[in-house]
Amino acid sequence: MRLEVDRERCVGAGMCVLTAPEVFAQDEEDGRVRLLDPESAEIGDAVQLCPAAAITAST
């Protein structure tokens, strides 16, 4: 699975980090999502839980 994040859409809610901390992190400066592993299959419900729809996954 290939992941992409749109940092401009991100509101810093942190649901992605709570759902898959090995895949996502939050930037220390602005709180927005950082993608640690763009090829991970272990994303849990991160895509669906993102309130800003800033995460997309494709196969």
CB 4 within 8 A of CB 55: yes
The per-residue pLDDT for range 14-55, each reduced to its tens digit, is 999 999 999 999 999 999 999 999 999 889 899 999 999 999
Other beta carbons within 10 Å of 33: 28
Q: Are strands 55-58 and 2-5 parallel, antiparallel or unpaired?
A: antiparallel
CB 10 within 8 A of CB 52: yes
Res 55: pLDDT: 96
CB 5 within 8 A of CB 36: no
Res 24: pLDDT: 97
